[in-house]
Structure 1
Amino acid sequence: MVEKTDVVVVGGGQAGIAASEHLTKANINHIVLERARTAEHWRTMRWDSLVANGPAWHDRFPNMEFKGQHPDAFVPKEEVADYLVDYAKMFNAPIREGVDVRSVKRKDKGAGFVVDTTDGVIEASYVISATGAFQRPMVPAIIPEIEGIKQIHSTAYRNPKELPKGNVLVVGAGSSGSQITAELMKTERKIFLSVGAHDRPPRRYRNRDFCWWLGVLNLWDAEANPSSTHTTIAVSGADGGATVDFRNLATQGLTLLGLTETYENGILTFADNLGENIREGDESYLSILDLADAYADRNGLNLPPDPKAREIGSDPECITRPIRSIDVFAENITTILWATGFSNDYSWLQVDAFEADNVPSHKRGISSEPGVYFLGLPWQSRRGSSFIWGVWHDAKFIVDHIQKQQGYLAYQGSAECIQL
C-alpha cells in the first residue's frame, strides 16, 4: 500500500529540521527522510577539531540555546550535531533515518509527486529539497592519480596523524582550507597553500564578533540578486577564534601559492594572482572595519577603538616573488588536500526545476516546478541563508507558502455572480 502525506522533506540536517518545525507549527502532515543519521554531515564529513565558525549565541535556531556553552564560545562539531538532534526531539520531528530517496517524479495523473525510497513509495502534495549546499565534494580534474601521493577532499580529512608522512599541499583558502592549514602547521611538515579569491572578515573588532557586525550592518540580511554568488570566506573559530592572516602564517613557515592551474610530469603550475588575491582579501577585511566605525560613530556606541586591527604586515617573499611552479616529488608532497567546495547532486529530483548546469531554478526557495521547494542554498533569500539561523527563516517563508497554497485548494465554492 502506498503511503500518503502532505509534504516530504528530503534531508535531515539543519534545513530539514527547520522545515519540520514550521510544518509542525502549521499542523501540516509531513515526513522527513534522511539517508543516514540526523545531522550526519556534521559528524562524518568534517575533521575532528572543527568548531562552528560563529559564536554559540549566533549560530543556532531561535528557540533553543546550546547547553553548557558560553555565548561567545565556538561549539565543537559533535555538539552542534547533538544540538540539532535535541532540537528535532523538542517538537518530535517525524524524521526517518536510514531512508534514501531514489527519485521524485510528478504523478502521471492528478496533482502531487511520487517519492520512491529504499523504504517504499510515498505520495506527497509537496516536496522540499533540504539537502543544502554541501552535497557532492568537488575536486577539479587537474591532477591524475599519482603513485605515492594521496589526494583527498577536505570532507575526508580527519587529523594530521591519518595523513602519510611527508609534506602537504592544501588547495583552497576558504574556511576549511585555512583552518586545516593552520592545524597542519602545528606538525613538522612543510605546508603549501594555494590561495584563490576570498573574503577575509575580522574575527573580532572593537570588542564585537564579526557575526554581530554583519548583523547590525544588515549584511546578513542582504537580499539575493542575480549576481549573488557563493563567496569563499576565510574565517575560523578554532582555538577561541582569531582573524585569518595569511601573511602571518607565511612568516611562520607556510608557503603561499596562487590558484592551482595545471599539472604535468610532477610539475604543478600556479596562476600569477597570489598578490591580487591577498590584496582583495585585505580590501574586504578593511571594508568591514570602515562600515563598523561609521556605524559606531553614527549610533554613539561606546566601543573601544582598535587601531591595531588596521595594521597589515609586509608581504613575505612568497608574495613579492611568487612561486609559479613546484615539483611535487622534489618537495616531498605526499598529500594533496582539496578544500575546493561542493557541487550539486539532484539526480534524484526528476522534475522541471533546474536551469543550466543543474542549478535550481527558484525565487526564495519556491521553484519553477509548482509544489517543489529548495532549502539551505547559499543566497537563497539572503546572505545568511545557508547558516543555521538563516535557514530557519527561509523555512518559515516556504512553509507559509505551502500553507497559502493549501488554503486556496481547500476552497469549495464557485465563481457564480451573486445578485445583491
Structure 2
Amino acid sequence: MNSHYSVAVIGGGQAGLSMSRLLRQRGVDHVVFERDRVGHEWRTRRWDSFCLVTPNWQCNLPGYAYQGDDPDGFMVGADVVDFLEKYAASFDPPLLEGVEVTRLRRTRAGVFALDTSAGRTTADQVVIATGPYHAPAVPRIAERLPAELVQVHSSQYRNSGQLPPGAVLVVGTGQSGCQIAEDLHLDGRQVHLAVGSAPRAARRYRGRDTLAWLDEMGHYARGIDEFGDADEVRLRANHYMTGRDGGRDIDLRAFARDGMRLYGHLRAISATRLDFAGDLAQSLDNADAVAEGIKDAIDRYIDSAGIVAPAEARYVPVWRPDSSPSVLDLAASGISAVVWATGFHRDHRWIEVPIFDGRGYPTHERGVTGCPGLYFLGLPWQWTWGSGRFAGVAQDAAYLSSRILDARRQRFTDEVSWLAGTPTETYPQVEWWAAA
C-alpha cells in the first residue's frame, strides 16, 4: 500500500469496480479497498435459490456488459459473482482485497486520512462505494420472542433445510421477504407471513418484461430531481417480483389460496402471542393498485406510440381475506423459526466528516458531497432508479469520474499559482506534487 493516492475508492463491488475502470482509463492513480473479496455480498448474503430481479441485459458496467446467451434471463447468485470476477479481471484494477477502511477524516492540509487494517494512507479524493446495506436491521421487538425459537435475518437465510422442522414466520414483504416466503412455501413448509406496505409489479405484460417496457418509456432515465418528493422516493421499498425459474409474478394472494397464512404488519409480541395490525386487506389492495397503475402507463405508451402488442386481460384477485387475523400463538401454530426480512441499517460511523443529515443519510448532489473531494457511488436513487443496481451505476460513475478530473485540474492550477510565489516548505499540500 502506498502512502498517498490521488483517489481512494472504498468498496470493491460493482460501484467501486466501475469507478476504478473509468479512473484507470483516464490515467488517474488510485486504489480500491475491499474489506473482503470481490463478490463477497453476493456470496454470503444471498439464499441458495437467489437470482436477480432485473434482467441480464441491464447488467452493463463501464467497458463490460453481460455476454451470455440469455439476455432476458436472470442471473443466479453464483453467476453474479462470476460476472464481477470477470469484470475485475478484464482491466486488473489496483484492488486491495481483505483491507478494511476503519476511519476516514479530512486533515487540515486538505487531504483525506484513511486508517485501514493494513496501515494508514492519504488521498486527495475519496469515493465511498460501500452501498447502503451494512448492518442487518432486526427490530428490538425480536428480543421478546422465546429463547428456543430460531431467529435469522434474511441475509443469513440459505434454504429451508437450515431451519428446524415446523412452521416458519417470515416478517416483511419486500423483495427478500416475498422470495424467501416463496422458497419456504415451495419446499412444503407452513409459512406465516407478516405483510408490509411494499408495492408489487407484474413480471410481464403485453408480451414483454415489464422492466423492458419501462426502460423503453424512459422511466429509468428520470433523474431524482424530476420528483417533488426526492427524500421519500429514496426511501420507498422496491416492487416485489422474482426472476426465479425464468421470471414470474409474486402474488401473495395466490400463496394464501394455496395455504400460506397472511397477516397485517407485526405490532406487538407478548410471550408466545403475536399481535398484528388489521391492515392486511389494505396492503394487498395497495400493492395490486401499484401493479395495475404500471400497466395503465404501459397501455398509454403503447397507444400513443402506435405499437402493435398483444392485448392482455387485467389481474383478478384470486383470494381475499375474510377478516385480517390479529393474533398468532407460536406454540399452537407450531412455529419453530422466524426470518426477519426487515432490511438493513447504514453504518457510516467510521466516516468522521460532517456530511450527514439528521437521519444519517449522506447529503449529496448526484454523489458529490459538500466536502470537496468526497463522493458517494452506488446509493439507491443516487440519481436514477438504476443507481444502486447494475443498470445505472455506470452512468453515475462516469459523472463522478468527470468531477474528479475537474477537481484535479483545479488543484493543479491552484498549486501552480501558489508555487509561482510560495516555497513548497510553507505549502505542505503540494509537497507530493513537487516531488513527483
Normalized against structure 2, the TM-score is what? Answer: 0.91
Query: Deviations 1:276-307 (Å, cap 9, x if unpaired)?
Result: 11111111101111111111111111211112
Q: Report the Cα offset of residue 214 of structure 1.
A: 1.8
1:51–1:311 Cα change, 3 Å: same
Paired with 1:389 and 1:66, the residues of 2 have a C-alpha distance of: 11
C-alpha contact 1:52 1:59 (8 A) present in aligned 2: no
Q: Report the Cα offset of residue 2 of structure 1.
A: 6.2
User: Are 2:179 and 1:179 aligned?
Assistant: yes
Aligned to 1:373: 375
Paired with 1:320 and 1:134, the residues of 2 have a C-alpha distance of: 37
Aligned to 1:19: 19
Give the SS at the match of 1:103. strand
Q: Report the Cα offset of residue 196 of structure 1.
A: 0.8
Query: Deviations 1:299-332 (Å, cap 9, x if unpaired)?
Result: 111211112xx1222433xx23110110112111
Aligned to 1:54: 54
User: Are 2:317 and 1:313 aligned?
Assistant: yes
C-alpha contact 1:53 1:235 (8 A) present in aligned 2: yes
User: Are 2:295 and 1:295 aligned?
Assistant: no
Paired with 2:391 and 2:15, the residues of 1 have a C-alpha distance of: 10
Aligned to 1:334: 336
Paired with 2:369 and 2:277, the residues of 1 have a C-alpha distance of: 38
Indicate the larger mover: 140-149 or 240-249.
140-149
* Residue 280 of structure 1, aligned match among 278, 282, 286: 286
Structure 2 letter corresponding to 1:161: G
Give the SS at the match of 2:337. strand
Q: Report the Cα offset of residue 8 of structure 1.
A: 0.8
Q: Report the Cα offset of residue 413 of structure 1.
A: 4.8
Structure 2 letter corresponding to 1:146: P
Query: Deviations 1:61-87 (Å, cap 9, x if unpaired)?
Result: 263343444111111111111111111
C-alpha contact 1:62 1:389 (8 A) present in aligned 2: no
Question: In percent, how many aligned pairs have the same letter?
Answer: 35
Aligned to 1:417: none
Paired with 1:211 and 1:29, the residues of 2 have a C-alpha distance of: 38
Paired with 2:235 and 2:242, the residues of 1 have a C-alpha distance of: 18
- CA RMSD for the aligned pairs? 1.7
Q: Report the Cα offset of residue 222 of structure 1.
A: 2.5
Aligned to 1:112: 111
* Residue 249 of structure 1, aligned match among 237, 252, 255: 255
Paired with 1:341 and 1:77, the residues of 2 have a C-alpha distance of: 19
Paired with 1:155 and 1:278, the residues of 2 have a C-alpha distance of: 25
C-alpha contact 1:168 1:333 (8 A) present in aligned 2: yes
5+ long unaligned stretches in structure 1: 415-420
C-alpha contact 2:19 2:401 (8 A) present in aligned 1: yes
Q: Report the Cα offset of residue 217 of structure 1.
A: 2.2
Structure 1 letter corresponding to 2:55: P
* Residue 345 of structure 1, aligned match among 328, 344, 347: 347
Equivalent pairs counted in the alignment come to 410
Counting only pairs closer than 5 Å after superposition, residues 137-216 of structure 1 correspond to structure 2 as: 137-144=136-143, 146-216=146-216
C-alpha contact 1:58 1:211 (8 A) present in aligned 2: no
Structure 1 letter corresponding to 2:139: P
5+ long unaligned stretches in structure 2: 225-229, 419-436
Paired with 1:281 and 1:62, the residues of 2 have a C-alpha distance of: 35
Point out the structure with the larger helix share. 2
Give the SS at the match of 2:113. strand
Structure 1 letter corresponding to 2:327: S
C-alpha contact 2:125 2:374 (8 A) present in aligned 1: yes
Aligned to 2:408: 406
C-alpha contact 1:142 1:261 (8 A) present in aligned 2: no
- Runs of 4+ off more than 4 Å: none
Paired with 1:105 and 1:2, the residues of 2 have a C-alpha distance of: 18
Aligned to 1:78: 78
Paired with 1:322 and 1:353, the residues of 2 have a C-alpha distance of: 44
C-alpha contact 2:60 2:394 (8 A) present in aligned 1: no
Aligned to 2:265: 259
C-alpha contact 1:174 1:235 (8 A) present in aligned 2: no
